[in-house]
Structure 1
Amino acid sequence: MNQAWPVHRLDTIDSTNTEARRRAQAGVFENCWILADEQTAGRGRLQRHWASPKGNIFSSALFREPGGIQVAARIPFAAALAVSDTALEYAPGADVRVKWPNDVRVNKAKLSGILIETGQDEQGLWVIAGMGVNVAQVPPEAGQAATCLAELAGGKALDHIEVFGSLTRHFMTRLAQARDGFGPVRTDWLKRAEGLGGQVRVSPGGVPVEGIFEDMAPDGGLILRLPDGSRQTIRAGDVHLIGEV
């Protein structure tokens, strides 16, 4: 695998994922990274706003996925592991956790936003792996409990470009792992899983379901043990840990 995808660094952009999509649809495709110092319209899942102050990482990997949609479905988990690997590199003592499917949190405070998008053209499937990481500061308008890497590293000043270099390295490693099969990704993800064995509420299709987060299915689905003893596998929805404020 080519470790040296070119990096297109921009001062200000609406969204790195949006820019990656424009490039993917422009007819001249290349595997690359889009990195912006600032976003004016950063977004997460369900078009939620992602605050984008300078000093943090706003990046998207754009690449073809020869393994098709089967491998692409593993990438949210691989990306979450890559971000958590990066966090542990700079803050080795932090209790970094992943909340299904790809939120990276420390002490229930969000460190990163990940948005995976896919598209198809005559050459096959392409993937955009958008990763925003709070490096230098917590966005004042985060709208939820949040943290940043500098805070986790004990107030150490961190260069977001240096951290981005670490993130790209970890992402390439985790992408290679995901392409080899989901088993090792699933194992590593479960080791860092937040809420495993506890009560959670998931809202697939807007209808809340509560149960014990028992396991993760071989395809990445969240397995709930329901109050009546049956099991249900959830493949889309927001997870809320019962008892979390």
Structure 2
Amino acid sequence: MGVIDSTNTEAQRRAKAGHIENCWLVAESQTAGRGRLQRPWLSSSGNLFSSAFFREPGGISIAARLPFATALAVSDMAAIIAPGAPVKLKWPNDARVNQAKLSGILIETGGQGQDFWVVAGIGINIAECPEGTSQATTCIHDLRGDTLISAEDALSVLRETFARRLEQARQSFEPLREDWLKVAEGLGETVRVTVSDSPVEGVFEDMAPDGALILRLPNGERQMIRAGDVSLIGRT
């Protein structure tokens, strides 16, 4: 594809038209890219804008694991094409290096039964670091110190790492959870989680078997958080 509003939006259009297929949708540029909480995803030239679009026979229970699986796929990709880059995952699925965002992920679903579909939107900064964002950004070229890797090269690796993590998600969440925790950003640290505009602070203690963030509150109680925006205290 050339210029498009959003690869995720294109997948949804195809699904609504009854054209559900296992494929990757890739654009050179997006005019209306978006991430979690409907935040805009800036589409700088030379970066990767893609969506994995597929039927998911496991339904919503498997789809719920995919934010974590997809983030791990990005982390795996970065380890291959930018060895040594200390990629960390901020709950639930931001890939960051030294608190600078490398990738944005948006999982969307639809349909029922045999027609249940998933679109895993994955934007990765390859050549450019978008400006004017709410947090610092980084890109593969900066992490590598050269410009030898293109968006097409990154996609080739990502397709392989995503396939492996998708299969892992379909088998069981526990090994996926353990792998995610190994690269979790802020684990054991005090974090602030904004839930419905209300901030909650506590120590990021663990991730539950269903993917919920487990927060240890100042009063010693544990709170499960299943949706929210995380920031590390003293960081961005």
Q: TM-score, normalised by structure 2?
A: 0.97
Q: 2:133 aligns with which of 134, 138, 142?
A: 142
Q: How many corresponding residue pairs?
A: 236
Contact 1:42 1:52 in 2 (8 A): yes
C-alpha distance in structure 2 between counterparts of 1:31 and 1:234, whole Å = 32
C-alpha distance in structure 2 between counterparts of 1:172 and 1:68, whole Å = 17
Shift of 1:241: 0.3
Contact 2:127 2:147 in 1 (8 A): no
% identical equivalent positions: 62
Shift of 1:144: 1.9
C-alpha distance in structure 2 between counterparts of 1:170 and 1:17, whole Å = 20
Structure 1 equivalent of residue 213 of structure 2: 222
Q: One-letter code of the match for 2:177? A: R
Structure 2 equivalent of residue 42 of structure 1: 33
Query: Is 1:80 aligned to residue 71 of structure 2?
Result: yes
Shift of 1:207: 1.4
Query: Is 1:182 aligned to residue 173 of structure 2?
Result: yes
Q: One-letter code of the match for 1:194? A: E
C-alpha distance in structure 1 between counterparts of 2:134 and 2:225, whole Å = 26
Please give the residue correspondences for 1:32-181 in structure 2 after superposition, counting only pairs within 5 Å: 32-121=23-112, 123-181=114-172
SS in 1 for 2:196: helix
Q: One-letter code of the match for 2:181? A: L
Contact 1:16 1:60 in 2 (8 A): yes
C-alpha distance in structure 2 between counterparts of 1:183 and 1:53, whole Å = 36
C-alpha distance in structure 1 between counterparts of 2:112 and 2:176, whole Å = 28
Q: One-letter code of the match for 1:182? A: F
C-alpha distance in structure 2 between counterparts of 1:14 and 1:164, whole Å = 19
Contact 1:79 1:171 in 2 (8 A): yes
Alignment RMSD (CA, Å): 1.1
Contact 1:41 1:49 in 2 (8 A): yes
Shift of 1:141: 3.0
Q: One-letter code of the match for 1:62? A: F
Contact 1:197 1:212 in 2 (8 A): yes
Shift of 1:95: 0.7
Contact 2:53 2:118 in 1 (8 A): yes
Shift of 1:122: 5.9
C-alpha distance in structure 1 between counterparts of 2:16 and 2:171, whole Å = 28
C-alpha distance in structure 2 between counterparts of 1:155 and 1:114, whole Å = 25
Q: One-letter code of the match for 2:119? A: I
Structure 2 equivalent of residue 212 of structure 1: 203
Structure 2 equivalent of residue 202 of structure 1: 193
Contact 1:79 1:174 in 2 (8 A): yes
